[in-house]
Amino acid sequence: MPYVSGLTLNEVLVKTSYFVQSNKPDDKEFLREPEAYGTGFMVLYRGMTFFVTADHVAHVKDHDLEKRTGENNVVGVHTYTHHELTAQVILLSKSYFAEKYDLITGKIELVDVCVTPLTAEQKSILCFTPRIELPERTIQKGEQMLIICEDGFVEPSEEDTYFVCGHIHPNIKNGIFIVYQKAFKNGLKYKLSNNEHLLFNTSDIITDPDEWRGISGAPILNQDGKCVGVLTSVNDDSKMVWGYSFKTMFMLMDLAMNDSTSEKTEKKE
């Protein structure tokens, strides 16, 4: 039984996963075709709400070149209300991301997670679902989305089974609207951790990467609806699915909160 009372696991998966698009830095109105798509989710941490996604969705060029370039794409999150015929795209503001130095290889590794503090207004808008048909019921447009709280995170276990929900096969319809398919990936099994990296196995070999492209940034939930981290990549022609631990998200959130405190102190002075 999921940790959210009265909801099935499918409902929890749908109601925690947002569709994310990433556009060129100068396209803040999202008028041109996106450079990347992905998934993301909201987290309530130490009293502050954050949006989490995979960093390669937000910093496309950085991950293509495997180094920080200073080019920050604009990231938009799709949300829905009863009155809107199509999605609203909410522009995220300053994001926090990181890289680390590998002592063995001597290379800089880009951490594939980024977090963005949300304003009260953004949080109030980013709380509505699209219409989605599930086997057990139809989620209507404008239902309440979910925020994962601190007690909704646990360490991964070989005894548990894991699930993700993301967005695949995005297309531009009528030159304006972005349409996509919800994708559920069930039955993942945890294999090992390497520092902040998490490795899971699928039951079958991944033969079509397009069936996973767009799921990056999704929360990885166990059968009880508890989150262990964020999905970031898969290995083609294998069973390997990679993610980052929730501890990496919390580290970036602490950084953001410390930065916010410093900015407030400077303004007072």
Distance between CA atoms of residues 119 and 161, nearest Å: 34
CA 53 centroid distance within chain = 3
> pLDDT tens digits for the chain (269 residues)?
345 668 999 999 999 999 999 999 999 999 888 999 999 999 999 999 999 999 999 999 999 999 999 999 999 999 876 555 567 889 998 999 999 887 777 788 999 999 999 999 999 888 888 888 898 898 888 888 999 999 999 999 999 999 999 999 988 775 556 888 899 999 999 999 988 999 999 999 999 999 999 999 999 999 999 999 999 999 999 999 999 999 999 999 999 999 876 555 444 44
Does 64 fall in a domain?
yes
197 found inside a domain: yes
Q: What is the C-alpha to C-alpha distance for residues 108 and 114, in angstroms, rounded to an integer?
A: 17
At residue 183, what are phi and psi to the nearest 5 degrees? Answer: -125, 130
Residue 127 lies in a domain: yes
Q: Does the residue 76 lie in any domain?
A: yes
**Residue 39 domain-assigned (yes or no):** yes
Domain that holds residue 232: 9-268
Tell me the CA distances in angstroms from 125 to 44, 115, 146, 218, one per residue in order: 16, 18, 12, 20
> Is there a domain that residue 231 lies in?
yes
For the chain, the domain total comes to 1
- Residue 162: which CATH number? 2.40.10.10
Is 3 part of any domain?
Answer: no
User: Has residue 22 been placed in a domain?
Assistant: yes
Q: Which amino acid is residue 266, in one-letter code?
A: E
Cβ neighbourhood burial of 163 (10 Å; 0-12, 13-18, 19+): buried
> pTM of the entire structure?
0.92
Cβ contact 92:51 at 8 Å = yes
